[in-house]
Amino acid sequence: MASALFALELGASAFTVGLLMSLFALLPMLLSVSAGRLVDRVGPRLPLAAGLGALACAAALPFLLPHLATLYVSSTLVGTAFMVVHIAMNSVFGAHGSPEQRAVSFSWLALAFSFSGSLAPLIAGYAIVELGHAAAFAVLGLFPLLGLGLLALRRRPLPRPERSPRGRRTGIVDLLRVPALRRTLVVSALLAMGWDLYAFVMPLYGARLGLAATSIGLIMSTFGAATLVVRLAMPVLVKRIDPWAVIAAGLGVAGAAYLLFPLVASAPPLMALSFILGLGLGCAQPVIMSVLYEASPPGRQGEAVGVRTLMLNASHTFIPLASGAISAALGMAPMFVVLAAGLLAGGWLASRHVRRA
């Protein structure tokens, strides 16, 4: 949100904002599998510390050099650093506790991300209004530093999966031959497309409607609040409902919400739709991570998360470019329709798996 609004403030076009957003995914697309293998090999602590430190440095760059070219560098570094943090944290939470507790563990991780999604847009929006776009990045850079400090205070080893036996590891193609893992990766890619592109779609749509940064931040915080609300219930739901049924329902709700976005043009209905979208995507994401971890071969969970990240970032690299071009030429409605179609397709695939189960 902060990068998109700062770029617009600096005179960037919709296509340029799309290019900027795609840079968040460029290096993660190329390096995610290697990062996953690194986490499997050395454990999560060192990659996590390096990722948090790099996040803080990358966030500080637009504050020190407030130019559009700096945003290109910052976006690339932020995306790469967060990719490492994301893979390492999924490794930690997947290895924590027994297999029966895994879905609950991922629900707690997702709950933490929901707190971030609720607070960060509000903090960014008010920091932009009160301090300016450049200074807002300095404020945001404090949070990964706090995480790095908390990690340094923990002396005990972080949980990690069992190591893969020597000589057994092969390539990505071998992972994709596992039917359950392949199916999970496809649905996961569609889910994350709807989740991550919200950060590109909403600032651009809100700016086109003439909404203030605080209003856009409030709308996006409503999305985060919805994910928080639904994830508070997830530790109970995952014990009672088939995970693929949760995934199918969540993607269906999210797809329907995206279809309605082009029909509204003011903050209150956008807040309502963002809340509905957050409910759908928020309940599906932690479940898909649990299913992915279960479907991964022993000792290759980090690599499987890396393959998922590669697939997601490949789409996130090119879809914002295409979305920026489409919105510049045809407006925002076609972009919402494409997102809705992808999510509804994912819900249909998930529902087929529920019926087979």
| Averaged pLDDT for residues 105-118 | 77
Multiple choice CATH, 2-161+172-356, 1.20.1050.10, 3.40.30.10, 3.90.1570.10, 1.20.1250.20: 1.20.1250.20
Cα 32 from Cα 90, distance rounded (Å): 13
Report which residue type is found at 105: S
Cα 137 from Cα 2, distance rounded (Å): 7
Which of the given ranges, 22-36, 55-69, 329-343, has the highest pLDDT on average?
A: 55-69
pLDDT band at 194 (very low <50, low <70, confident <90, very high): confident
Handedness of CA 337, 342, 345, 347 (dihedral sign): negative
- pLDDT at residue 336 in the model: 86
Handedness of CA 279, 281, 286, 291 (dihedral sign): positive
Residues in the chain: 357
Contacts of 255 (CB under 8 A, 6+ apart): 194, 280, 339, 340, 341, 342, 343, 344, 346, 347
Which of the given ranges, 242-251, 294-303, 308-317, has the highest pLDDT on average?
A: 242-251
Half-sphere exposure of 266 (CA within 13 A, CB side): 2
Q: Counting Cβ atoms within 10 Å, is residue 53 exposed (0-12), middle (13-18) or buried (19+)?
A: middle
Cα 296 from Cα 74, distance rounded (Å): 33
- pLDDT at residue 291 in the model: 82
- pLDDT at residue 272 in the model: 94
Is 355 a residue whose pLDDT tops 60?
no
235 within 8 A of 104, measured Cβ to Cβ: yes
pLDDT band at 190 (very low <50, low <70, confident <90, very high): confident
Going from N- to C-terminal start, the domains of the chain cover 2-161+172-356
99 within 8 A of 294, measured Cβ to Cβ: yes
Contacts of 237 (CB under 8 A, 6+ apart): 246, 283
∠ CA 18-5-55, nearest 5°, is 80
pLDDT band at 48 (very low <50, low <70, confident <90, very high): very high
Query: What does the pLDDT look like over 276-289, one tens digit per residue?
Result: 999 998 888 778 87
Cα 109 from Cα 178, distance rounded (Å): 26
| Averaged pLDDT for residues 85-114 | 78
Cα 69 from Cα 39, distance rounded (Å): 32
140 within 8 A of 123, measured Cβ to Cβ: yes
Taking CB atoms within 8 Å and a gap of at least 24, the contacts of 39-42 are: 39/87, 39/88, 39/91, 39/302, 40/91, 40/161, 40/163, 40/164, 40/299, 40/300, 40/301, 40/302, 40/303, 41/163
For the chain, what percent of residues have pLDDT higher than 90? 23
Query: What does the pLDDT look like over 170-183, one tens digit per residue?
Result: 667 777 777 778 88
| Averaged pLDDT for residues 219-229 | 85
pLDDT band at 323 (very low <50, low <70, confident <90, very high): low
Is 325 a residue whose pLDDT tops 80?
no
pLDDT band at 252 (very low <50, low <70, confident <90, very high): very high
Is 198 a residue whose pLDDT tops 70?
yes
Q: How high is the mean pLDDT of the chain?
A: 83
Note the pTM of the prediction, 2 decimals: 0.70
Cα 197 from Cα 4, distance rounded (Å): 12
- pLDDT at residue 78 in the model: 93
Is 312 a residue whose pLDDT tops 90?
no
CA-based end-to-end distance of the chain: 40
